Every structure is written in C-alpha cells, then in structure tokens.
Amino acid sequence: MNHAAVSDSDEQLVRRVLAGNTECFRMLVERYQDAVFGVALSQTGSFPDAEDAAQETFLAAFESLGRLKDPARFGSWLYGIALNKVKMHLRRRRDRPPAEGALGPAAQAPRPDEVAAQRETREALMAALARLSAAHREAATLYYINGYSQKDISRFTDCPVGTVKTRLHDARRRLRKELVAMVEQELKRARPGRKFTERVLRKVSQVRVWLSGGEQNVLLLTDARKRSFMIVIGKAEAEALQPWLAGTGRPEAPDIHTALVRTLAAFAARIEEVVVGELKAHTFHATLTVRSGRGSAELDCRPSDAINLAARAGAPIYVNKEVADACLMKGPGGKPLSTRAAWDSVRHGVLGRPRKGVFRDVLAVIQALEKDPDNALARQAICEATPWQGFVHIRRVPPLVKNPGGAVEALQDWLQRSHGTRLEAPAAGLLGATYLWTSTREPENALPHLERACRLRPGDERIAFDLATAYALAGKADRAIALLRKHRFEKADKCGNFAALRRDPRFRKIAGRPEPSRADLFVSAQLGREIHTRPPLGKMIPKRPAAAGGKAIPLPKLGRQRLGQFQRRLDCGRLLGVEGLLPHLQGKRNWLALGVRPNRRAALPVTAAQARTIHAALVQSPRPLTPKTFCNALADAGIKPEAVALLKRGRRGIEAALLAHAGRTQAAISMAAPAALAVALAAKCPVLITQALAGKLYVRGKSGRRTGLSACPG
C-alpha cells in the first residue's frame, strides 16, 4: 500500500485488469495483502483465519472488479469487502470448534520448544491487542504489520488522518511498553508472503471444462473472466470425459480413471488439483497433485488424463498464464471470444476452417518465407505439409496449410530461383531440413543442402544444429562432434538427434549426460518442431505371434500361500496364476492371450479403445500415459499394487479387481479387465484368474485339447 514506491496508481492498474491484463491484479494483491491481512487479524484474532479471510477478500474483489464505479478508490472499496468477509468468517467460526494451532501456521519441522515459545508469544500478543477497542486494534495492527504511514491507513480505511493519528496514540499508550516491540516483530513475521499472492492468482485462473462433442474433440476451458481456451484431446479420452461433464458419470464405473479415484479414496487419499502448466512443441503438459497422509505430491501427466481425473474427483483445474495466452480464442478483431461465441464456433466447426494467418497452399508459404525467411509460422507450415515417415502424426487444429502437399518440390523451385541471393541460405537450409524430417534413415539426401546453407551462413545455429544431426545419423561422428564443440547446443542432451553419439566420450564431455526419457524426441531446429518417435505397433507386437516367433510378456509368479491369501480376501473360489501375456492388438479383432498355469491358454477379447489402453502400458513415452499415471499416483500416495485378479464375466465384459495395500490397510478395487491388465503391466505385478472364468476362456486346438501359450496360432 506504499504508493510512493510504485509508479502505477490504483486507478491505472484497475483499468488494465478490466482491459484483460490480469497480471496487473498481482500488483494490487502485493500492494494491499498486508493491509487486508492486518484488518482481518485485528477482527478475528487468529492468524490462519485472517489469512483465509484475506484470500477470500481478493477473490471476491477480482470477481466483482467490474462493478467498481471509481477505480481510484480501490483501496477503500477493498477495505469494505474485507470487513464483510471477516464478518462472514466469524459467523462460520462460531459454528465449528476451534482447531488446534489456531494461533498460526505451523513452521516446517519446528522443535517443541520453538512451538511453545511461539505459542506463548502470540497468546500474549493477541491478549494485549484484545484489550483495545476494534478501531484502536485495527489502527495498531495496520501500523505495525508493514510500517504503513498514517496517510496510507487513512486512504485504505477511508478515515480522516487526524482520527487515525489519535487512535494510534491511544493504542500505544494503552499497550504496555514491553509489548510494543513484541507486537511489531510478531506481526511483521506473520505477514503474508509471496506464496499468498501465488495462491490468490492461481485461484483466479480456475477454469471450467466444456467438450465440443465433434470429431475434433475440443475442450473449452473458461476462466473467471469468461475467456475461453482450447485444448484438443483424443477420441477415447473425450468419450471417457463426456458422461462426467453431462452429469451422468457413475462413481462405481470400472474404467481406469474412475478406478484410480476410488483406489485413492479407499486409502484416505485424493486428487487435490490439476494444473495445465506447460506447452512444448504444440503439446500440453499437466501436473497432478495427490494429497495423502504422507502430504501432497505432484506428478506429470497428460492433460487429458488430468482433466478426466479432476472431473471424477471434483478437483479444481487451473491453467498456466503462458498456456492460456497461447490457446486464447479470439474473434476477428483480436478480442477474446465470449463463452457462448467460443462454444458456438466449436459446435459449428469454425475451428476446422482456416483462420487469419493460415496458408492457402504451399506456394503461399513460400511467398511468406520470401518476405521473411525467419517466419516461424511458415517454417512450421512447411513441416506440416511434408509427408512424414516413421513419426507419430499430430495435426494442428486448425491445420496451418489448407491444401498441403508438394513441399519438397516447392522448396526445390525456390532454391533455384534464389541462387546467388540472400535467400539462398534459408532455401537450402529448409530443403535440407525437410529431407531430414521426411526420413531420418536417409540423411545423405539432406547433407548437400545443409552443408551449402552452413557455408553461406556459418553463424546460423539452427542450420548448424540440423547439419550436426545429419552428420550423426549418417555415421560421420567426427564432423558432428566438431559442430557440437563449436556451437555448444543447449538441446543436444535433451533430444534423440544424437543418439548414435551417446556412448562417445567426446559427446558426453561437450553436452553432458543425455536424458534417457527424451531419447525418442526428434528436434528440427529450422522447422521449429519437435516430435516423439516410436516404433510402429506392428513391430512391437507380432501380428501372428506363433508364426513370427513372438514371445509372451512374462508376469511375476506367486506361491501357493500367497494365492490362498488372495482367495480368502476375494472369496471368489480357486485362483490360478497367469504366467505370461501375449497381446494381439491389430486389425478389427483385438484380443489378449493369457498363459494360465499349468500350460493352458485363455483368449480375452478387447475393443479397440481397450486395446489402446493395453498398448499404452507397453510403450515408452516421455510423458506418462494413462496406466503409468495410475501407478505414479498410487506410488506418491504410498499405495502398493499387489495383484490383479480376473473374476467373472459380467454384462459389460470381464470383471476384475485390483488388490492393493498401504501399511496395514488393504483394499480390492473393481475394474474392467483390460484396464486392470494395463495397470498390472505398468506396475509389473502378478495377474490371477479364477478357475471358473479360465474354463470359459480356454482355447482348444483342432483335436479339442486345450493349448498352451507357446502354441498360439494367432
């Protein structure tokens, strides 16, 4: 509230917030947080209650800021809101018993003597302040908590300066002299810090989720200011989310997301919040916070999984400011679309049509590059218009090029036209990058063009990075090392471009120890794109396992004693151990072959969506996929999966149960069989099957005998 220390007045900041610059509200919070906290503390006499009331005050102020008639009187208007929130807080507090530690937030791992000393100090402080009247207590608290001047207090409380001066004089006289120093020291130590500001601003960014329901599966996130942000998710995740957004989701549903929420609840844990907080290479990243008896833990996951879990757990969803700015939906004039306009644009397919700044065809992209060779959007459009080989194709919504195709031919023509001009280097570099992007297995096609561009522009690090990548892929380690030593690329150890050099001691000396989790990330510096590569599904899982000599995925085994314990817990009859699992996840018919002891094979049919869940447990990905997110959440909550049991055939498929424990607490969570098997594969825990169900799923050969897993005909 010290206006002399800042250049912008309250009126200027308020008008900027109303114009859409929510970052200015941070400055208002930082300016008034001590004053609001002081008013709340003088009325409640409790440090935690004062902080809660102060936070509620700023949230209410942000939501009703548009109703402020005179922005110059923001301070006194905020003071009125603070008084109302304090009164509401006091009424709620009368209805509940006092909580332990009401004198203030606990410090991190304090010693018992420190806790006792702090409690005694605060008790003496609040007892001394309680002997003052409400007006004198308020003036003294504001004066000592941050050294506010009498003029600042007058402006904030809308009270004459003379009255403030009189109240401060009387308060000092009534307080004992030995308490004055203690009051000032304790109030300054208890004042809210930077974390308080961050909590308020994160609350402001809370969003609501809407689903388009169309083929594009667009999520609309709407913040407190009714601005909409767009995120595209897959079909399976959209179908899983739809019932919960429509209010028809069932808490007992057997899908993997609902099962995770029920598993956490069985062990007194919960999903606390979800933050969509990062945008890398046109891919969103999210953070999931799990609260348990061990405290709170954050784990990385996909936004589609995070939002699905938040919808089921009733947890708040937040969006990082950078992500919100990148995905903000705007109208023709550049202004943010209203909630209704954004929703209508998705429903009517407006997002599927090119917008301003999207190119008609590849020739339009080349024309944009001729005007500005560093046009980032045009470079990404070249990448999108290039036929990809060996990469997972992720399309933009809407696409950058309306009529893609012919990118290589257009770049070749541009290179011929630009010979001897300033555009020769970018044309040659982009053509080489396109060849490299098209197929990393044939870098020889890219090398002549990249070398030509590097000779013309030796200081361009983007061209040098792609050239070093081509050298590494072509087996020319010495030349790649020379470029790495010269330019010292920051991303050299954070991508898979130089996978062939990872064991070379020279590479480790230059770039450091590479990150294994990003080994399949291919980066094109000139095209401005990153993509996660992965082997095709057909190469990972043989189409005909027996004929191709495919091997089953081994599963952990259990002894008889452990099997007996699980039988008694489930009360499901005799259980058999599953020795291995052989997936067949291609084509229209997807199924899993289960090797049941002794030497028997059971066939479990799965749908296409269930096959994708199983596949997600088998592949390696820089971002945890759904089964891995399930296991990470359990691990952070201290829950250990023990086994998965396939129980019986129900109306909606095979019913299964996940057996887990945390300390002495045990639980059996019902799940669909494919989801449970995906969790078992990700957690590497044993799989069991009841003898009755196995008898119905056994596969028999031509002679009528039951076949083993090694005799699987595919």
Among residues 345, 61, 69, 77, the alpha carbon closest in space to that of 224 is found at 61
Mean pLDDT over 648-677 rounds to 90
Instruction: Give the mean model confidence (pLDDT) for residues 230-240.
Output: 79
Count of positions (residues) in the chain: 714
* % residues pLDDT > 90 (the chain): 15
Which among 289, 253, 291 has a CA at the least distance from the CA of 270? 291
**CA 545 to each of CA 506, 556, 694, 699, 706: distance values in angstroms, whole numbers, following the listed order:** 42, 21, 21, 15, 18
Cα 653 from Cα 125, distance rounded (Å) = 65
Residue range 694-709: average pLDDT?
Answer: 62
Half-sphere exposure of 709 (CA within 13 A, CB side): 22
Token output for 111: 């010693």
Domains and CATH numbers, the chain: 3-201 (1.10.1740.10), 205-350 (3.10.690.10), 366-532 (1.25.40), 540-711 (3.10.690.10)
Tell me the percentage of the chain whose pLDDT exceeds 70: 73
Q: How many CA atoms lie within 13 A of 630 on its CB side?
A: 28
Q: Are 1 and 35 in contact (CB under 8 A)?
A: yes
Degrees to nearest 5, angle at CA 604 with 243 and 599: 150
Q: How confident is the model at residue 201 (pLDDT cuts 50, 70, 90)?
A: low
- Cα 591–592–593 angle (5° rounding)? 125
pTM reported for the whole predicted model: 0.55
- What pLDDT, on a 0 to 100 scale, did the predictor assign at position 587? 55
Over residues 341-353, mean pLDDT: 61
Whole-number Cα distances in Å, 486 to 172, 187, 452, 465, 493: 68, 56, 18, 11, 15
Residue 17 tokens, joined: 């917030």
Average pLDDT of the residues of the chain: 76
Cα 702 to Cα 403: distance, rounded to the nearest angstrom: 54
Higher pLDDT, 446 or 390: 446
| Residue that has been written with the tokens 């974390």 in this structure | 195
Q: CA–CA separation, 92 vs 614, rounded Å?
A: 49
Q: What is the DSSP string of 654-698?
A: EEEEEEEEETTEEEEEEEEHHHHHHHHHHHT--EEEEHHHHHHHB
Contact call for residues 93 and 135 (beta carbons, < 8 A): no
Q: Which two tokens stand for residue 299?
A: 């784990």
Tokens of 473: 């892929």
pLDDT for the residue numbered 89 = 78
**Token code pair at residue 117:** 């000393």
Question: CA-to-CA distance for 285 and 276, rounded, in angstroms?
Answer: 6
424-433 per-position pLDDT tens digit: 999 999 998 8
Return d(Cα 28, Cα 58) in angstroms, integer: 9
Other CB atoms closer than 10 Å to residue 37's CB: what's the count? 27
DSSP 8-state symbol, 542: -
Q: What is the DSSP letter of 706?
A: B
pLDDT confidence tier of residue 3, bands split at 50, 70 and 90: very low
Query: Which comes out higher in pLDDT, residue 625 or 207?
Result: 625
Alpha carbons 542 and 582: distance in angstroms, whole number:
9
List pLDDT tens digits, range 244-276.
877 788 888 999 999 999 999 999 999 988 888
Q: Name the range with the highest mean pLDDT among 16-25, 169-178, 529-538, 658-667.
A: 658-667
Q: Which of 63-77, 221-235, 539-553 has the lowest mean pLDDT?
A: 539-553
As to burial, measured by CB atoms within 10 angstroms (0-12 exposed, 13-18 middle, 19+ buried), residue 476 is middle
